[in-house]
Structure 1
Amino acid sequence: MRHPLYQFLGGAVALATSLASGPAAAIDPSYHLSEENVLSVAITGDMPGLVARDGKLTGYDGDILQIAADRLGLTIKPVPMEWSGAIAAVQTGRVDIIGGNVAWTKQRADTLAMTDPTGYFQNGITSKKSSGWHTLKDLENRKVGSMTGFSFLPELRKLHGLELSLYDSTDAALRDLLAGRIEALVGDPPVIDYALSQNPDWGLVNLAFTDNDPDFPLLTGLGRQYVFGLSKENSALAADLSTQIRALWTSCEVKAIGKRYGNIGEANYTPSAENFRVGADRAAGWTPPACEK
C-alpha cells in the first residue's frame, strides 16, 4: 500500500512529454532554449508548487508559468528530476527554467537570471501539535530534517546541538517525522502546509519562526521571495516572464490562483519592507510586486 503522501506529491515524475501551450506567437530570437520554441521545465514533483498533470502544468507556480508561456508563445516540456540537481541542470542547459517554490538568494542571483517573485513566504518549524515549536531555540539539541540544497542550511547548522538529516523530497522527510526518526522539519512552507491540510490526522503543525533574527535572515526573515530561475544567457526571457508575472500581480490574479492551492494567508502576498534585490539583481527604482486591488 502506498503511503498517503504519494497521493498528492506523486505523479509528476511519470510525465515527461511535451505539454501543448496556446496559439503560436513570434518567439524572441534572443531566447536561448534547449529546443526551438519549447520551454523545458525542471519538475521536482511537490504540490502545491509546480507539477505536470493531465496535460498541463499545475500548482501555484505551475499555473503562473503556464499562463506566461502561453502568452509568450512557448510550448512547455516538463523534465522530471530531483531538486538537488535542478539548479545545476539550468546552469548547464539541460533545462531552461526551474520553479516551484524556488527561493531568491543573493548567491543564486549571482549565478542565475531570476524573475520577479511569484509569491512571498516565511520559513517555519513542522513538529507535533503537542510541541508547537516556532523559535530557533526550540531546535537546539534536537534531530531536525531539512531539504538538500536549501539556502538556509548553513544557518541551521549553527544551532547548538542540532543533528541535521537531509532529504531529497518532502515526502521522505515527512515520513521520517511521522515515524519519529526526526523530531522536527524545516522545509518548504507551501508544500508542508498543503500536505498537512490534506492529512489533518497526522497531528502535525507548521508554525512560522517568530524570531526574525538578523543573524539568521534566510531562516527567520519575513517576506522572502519565490522566483523562477534561468541561465544568465536567458536574461531576456527572464525579463519577459517577469513582465507576465507582474501583470498577474497588477490584476491580483495571483490570489485567485493561490486560493486553488490553499495559499490564502496574506503572508503569501506581502513583500518584505526591505527591498533587498535592488543592487543585487535589480536596478534602483525596482519594487517587488503586490496586488493592486
Structure 2
Amino acid sequence: MKAEMMTFVVAVALSAMAAATAIAGPLTDRIAAGEPIRLGFANEVPTAYAGKNGEPEGFANIMTLGVLKKMGYEKIEPVQTEWGGLIPGLQAGRFDIITGGMFILKSRCENVAFAEPIYKLGEAFLVPAGNPKGLRNYDDVREKGAVMVTGAGYANIQHAKAAGVDAAKIMEVPGPTEILAAVLAGRADAGAGTPVLVGELAASSGGKLEVTDAAAMPKDSLNWGGIAFRKDDQDFIAAFNSALTEYLGSEEMMKAVAKYGYTKDWLPGDEKTDWICANR
C-alpha cells in the first residue's frame, strides 16, 4: 500500500513538472538558462532609441526596464533594428521583446502578443511652415492629391488607405530621419506620425517645418501603444502585466519618463489589449 502511494505521489510530481515545463515559453526558458532579455527597438525618438553608448533610451524602453526590474530582471541586452524589421525579428528569435512602443493594431495582433497598453496618442502631420497645402487630415491628402511620407509599417499607412488615399501617394521610408528629409526636400507634402514624433522632427528643422493639430485627425486614429512579445510567451506576458499594473502611472514611472515628454495625458486609460486588438 505504501509503495503504491509512493508511486502515485511520484507520478503526480512528475506530471506537475511536465505541466510547468509545457507552459513555460521561450523567454522564460532563456532566463532560466541565464541568458539576457533582449529588447528590440528602432530609432524612434522619444519612444525608443539607443543612447550614446548603445543603452536603451526613450519612454517605452524606460517603462519596460522599470517593469522588468519589478519582476526581478536586470540582465538586459538592447538590439536596435529598422522599424520594419521589428516583428520579423521577434518572430525569428533575434530578440525577445519589442519595446518600440508599437501601436496595438488588429493586423499586428495576428502576429505578436501585446501586453496591456502603456500609452495612447493620436496622429499629426509634419508640414512646411504655414502649411501651404492646408493638409490637416487624410481626407485633405486624398482630395488634394498630396504626397504623404511615413515609416514603413507605421499605422499611418493603414489609416491613410482607409481614408481613400492612393497607395501611390504614400511614400514609405525606414524611419524618422527619412521622413524629415523627404518633407524638407519637398519630395513629400506631409510626414505622418504621432504628434510626439513629428514634433521632435519639426523642432529640429530650424523653423522650416511645423506640426498640424492632432484634433483635426479622425477619431479612429487615436491609438494605444504597447510592448510586444512572441505568442508562445503567454506565461511571461501574464507576469509582465501584473507588474505593469503596479508600475503604470506611479510616481516612480512618471519621474523616469518625464524627460521624454511623457505626461499623465498619455496614460492609456481603461481600454484593454483584447478590445484594442478587435477595434484597431
Please list the CA deviations of residues 179-217 of structure 1 after superposition, one character each: whole Å capped at 9, or x if unmatched. Answer: 11110011243322233345553332243152435xxx3
TM-aligned CA distance change 1:232 to 1:210, over 3 Å: same
**Residue 192 of structure 1: which of 173, 198, 201 is its match?**
198
Please list the CA deviations of residues 88-124 of structure 1 after superposition, one character each: whole Å capped at 9, or x if unmatched. Answer: 1111212101122311012222221211111111112
* CA distance in structure 2 between the aligned counterparts of 1:151 and 1:136, rounded to whole angstroms: 13
1:49 counterpart residue number: 47
2:7 counterpart residue number: none
TM-align CA RMSD: 2.8
Describe the SS at the equivalent of 2:43.
Answer: coil
Cα contact 1:177–1:184 (8 A) shared by 2 = yes
Describe the SS at the equivalent of 2:155.
Answer: coil
Describe the SS at the equivalent of 1:120.
Answer: strand
The total of aligned residue pairs comes to 245
Residue type of the alignment partner of 2:148: V
TM-aligned CA distance change 1:276 to 1:241, over 3 Å: closer
- Residue 127 (1) aligns with residue 127 (2): yes
Describe the SS at the equivalent of 2:95.
Answer: coil
Q: TM-score, normalised by structure 1?
A: 0.73
Compute the displacement of 1:279 (Å): 5.7
- Residue 244 (1) aligns with residue 249 (2): no
Which structure has more RCO (C-alpha within 8 Å, separation ≥ 6)? Answer: 2
TM-aligned CA distance change 1:126 to 1:280, over 3 Å: closer
Describe the SS at the equivalent of 1:111.
Answer: coil
1:154 counterpart residue number: 158
* CA distance in structure 2 between the aligned counterparts of 1:180 and 1:235, rounded to whole angstroms: 46
* CA distance in structure 1 between the aligned counterparts of 2:65 and 2:268, rounded to whole angstroms: 23
Residue type of the alignment partner of 1:133: L
* CA distance in structure 1 between the aligned counterparts of 2:54 and 2:148, rounded to whole angstroms: 37
Cα contact 2:191–2:198 (8 A) shared by 1 = no
Describe the SS at the equivalent of 2:229.
Answer: strand
Describe the SS at the equivalent of 2:199.
Answer: helix
- Greater mean deviation of Cα atoms: 60-69 or 243-252: 243-252
Cα contact 1:46–1:191 (8 A) shared by 2 = yes
Identity score, percent: 18
Compute the displacement of 1:167 (Å): 0.5
Unaligned runs of 5+ residues in structure 2 are 1-19
Residue type of the alignment partner of 2:228: G
* CA distance in structure 1 between the aligned counterparts of 2:217 and 2:41, rounded to whole angstroms: 33
TM-aligned CA distance change 1:142 to 1:66, over 3 Å: same
Q: Which has the higher helix share?
A: 2
Compute the displacement of 1:153 (Å): 1.8
Cα contact 2:54–2:78 (8 A) shared by 1 = no
Cα contact 2:138–2:165 (8 A) shared by 1 = no
* CA distance in structure 2 between the aligned counterparts of 1:150 and 1:55, rounded to whole angstroms: 24
1:78 counterpart residue number: 78
